[in-house]
Amino acid sequence: MTDSFWLWIGCIGMAVGAAAIFLIGGRKTADEETGTILHGTVPVIAACAYFAMAVGQGSLPWHSVQNGQTISFSFYFARYIDWLFTTPILLASLALTASHGRVRRAGPLVGILLADVLMIVTALFFGMSTTGWIKWTWFVISCGAFFAVYYVLLVGLREEAARQRADVQAAYTRNATFLSVIWFIYPVVLLLEPEGLAVIGSTLSCAIIVVIDLVSKVVYGLMTTVGHRAIAERDLREGA
């Protein structure tokens, strides 16, 4: 199997996932409709990024010096463009879940989105750097922003969710836990792949990222969409 194989798997999987989310997503309430649009759009963006990488428009020939040896590989910059759009969308959806669609405190939402953008941009600089101390400085900064995202997820937005009814609290806890666990794999892969320590090869790192991308965008999107449906049904019952 090659990088190209896994990139096409990512492209097709995201396209199918997007169609599934839009098909099962409800629009009975404004909150449910917003959730469907957000989670359906995420794999659409990812499918475009994977298509660009699969046809050679989303990557550049790159090299990295490890232990005195030059390692050549494809630098998939389209990943970062994907993440720059899709991760804020996923976090915005989580914030809306925590507040039950009515954001009362803008601080946690603004903070988590800014930290997320900083995390992705500095990770891009990390991948592009060929000088050791510069590369690892960017990695440390990116990890700092990464943990800031986790802090808001586990503290700021959790406090907001605690003010909601039990089913909304449960939905937020489930979604935040799922996403937090999956997202923790990303920096580990970036650390080990050719852009980092080159412990694993390009194809293996590509395969891992495709799998966790599909889980965090498609599987998570389907799970969240089903959860939004249950919340919307209760909203309608109580509204009636």
Query: Tens of pLDDT along 23-58?
Result: 998 888 888 899 999 999 999 999 999 999 999 999
Please report which confidence band the pLDDT of residue 67 belongs to, taking 50, 70 and 90 as the band edges: low
Q: What pLDDT, on a 0 to 100 scale, did the predictor assign at position 31?
A: 85
> Which of the residue ranges 105-114, 150-159, 193-202 would you say has the lowest mean pLDDT?
193-202
CA 51 to CA 237: how far, in whole Å?
43
**Amino acid identity, position 139:** F
Q: Classify 3-239 by CATH class.
A: mainly alpha
Q: Would you list the domain boundaries of the chain?
A: 3-239
Q: What pLDDT, on a 0 to 100 scale, did the predictor assign at position 240?
A: 45
Give, in order, the Cα–Cα distances in Å from 54 to each of 6, 156, 193: 9, 39, 19
In 3D, which of 11, 15, 84, 88 has the Cα closest to residue 52?
11
Residue 64, strand partner residues: 71
Q: What pLDDT, on a 0 to 100 scale, did the predictor assign at position 26?
A: 82
3-class DSSP state of 77: coil
For the segment 124-167, what is each residue's pLDDT rounded down to a tens digit?
A: 999 888 888 999 999 999 999 999 999 999 998 999 999 988 99
Q: Whole-prediction pTM value? A: 0.91
Residue 65, strand partner residues: 70
H-helix or E-strand spanning residue 61: strand 60-66
